Structures are given as structure tokens and as C-alpha cells.
Amino acid sequence: MAILKIARMGHPVLSEICAQVRDPAAPELRRLIADMIETMADANGAGLAAPQVHVPLRLVIFQAPASRSNDTGADEPESFDHAAPLTVLINPVIEVLDTTLEGGWEGCLSVPGLRGWVDRPRHIRYSGVDAEGRRVQRDARGFHARVVQHECDHINGVLYPQRMRDLSKLTFESEFRHWLDHSEEKRAAE
């Protein structure tokens, strides 16, 4: 395994519409997935998309620990939607279940040192296949929905600042930590 170099905003690979993965079981894809998992852990990120490591394929990894959920009052089945284990998602498709927008702070390993406030649909269903070629389909809310949408934007060449409606809410991480409520900090997606 290896820690891969992460492309930063401005690199053309981050603007590409990525290609479908033809063979999820290919050995070189397994190696890429293992390296992406190691790279994400090393960078302390919540998600990583293949183009961020200079590979323009429709492949993302992410996790949404329950501790990062901003859910407070949902019932049991709904709170389940807020968390996800480390997930490999190949050729993902997103369906928006509730177009109501929810704001949250995001960061990105390709936009180091910055945080921005991004509105996104709060309830989605996503599907794809995992590293073993098994079909994955889940409903997601809260941070879980946010991180999946953020990662899937990457494979369509979109970075979170392009989703921002108010650029006055683009901040340096150090100022963000200094000035903003720490409960908000916990909600920041990668």
C-alpha cells in the first residue's frame, strides 16, 4: 500500500467528468482502493474521490461516524441514516429524496486550509457497487448525506466552493476554529 499525492484545486483532473469503472474486481482497482483508504486515513479525511489522487474514475470512499452526526431528534430508523461505516462506492448514483436544503461546513483535502458553508439536499438515496462488486443502496441524511454528495461532486468535476451561494462564508480553517462554535466544527465534512 502507499500514501498517494492529493491533487489540489486548480489541477485539471479535479475538473474532469470521470469515467465509469468497467471492472470493479480488477486487481489494479483493488490496489487503488487500498491506497485511497490509506491516504484518507493519513490525511484524517472523511472522504476521498479517485480524481483527488489523479485517477479520473467514478470511485469514492467515505465514512460518516455517528459522532459526526448533527441529528438530535430523529427517530430510530432515521438516525440510522446519519451514520455509515467506511464505504467503497463504485459508479455511484444519487437520488434526491427531499429537496429541502440544509447548510453545513465543508472542507476538502483538495482545498487545504479552508472551510466553506454549503447548502445541500438533506435526504438522499445512493447506490453503486462495493469493492467486491456487491450492490450497495442506502438512504442518507445529515453528515452522511453531505459527505456522499461532496464526494460524488468530485467525480463530476465539482469542488465545494462551486456549490457555495455566499462566499463570505469561505474561511481559513484557523479562523474557523478560532471564531466559530466548536459544535459546528465537528460537523465539517471533508
Which residues are catalytically annotated? 151
Cβ neighbors of 169 (< 8 A, separation 6 or more) are 116, 117
Q: Which is nearer to Ni ion, 108 or 152 (CB)?
A: 108
Q: For residue 189, what is its C-alpha cell? A: 465534512
CA pair distance 38, 19, nearest whole angstrom? 23
DSSP 27: H
Instruction: Decide if 105 contacts 116 (C-beta within 8 A).
Output: yes
Q: Which is nearer to Ni ion, 29 or 49 (CB)?
A: 49
84 makes contact with Ni ion (CB under 5 A):
no
Residue nearest to Ni ion (CB): 108
152 makes contact with Ni ion (CB under 5 A):
no
Instruction: Decide if 37 contacts 80 (C-beta within 8 A).
Output: no
- Interface residue with Ni ion among 46, 88, 90, 108 (CB under 5 A) is 108
147 makes contact with Ni ion (CB under 5 A):
no
Q: Near Ni ion by CB under 5 A, which window of 25-33, 35-43, 92-100, 103-111? A: 103-111
Q: Which residues bind Ni ion (CB under 5 A)?
A: 108
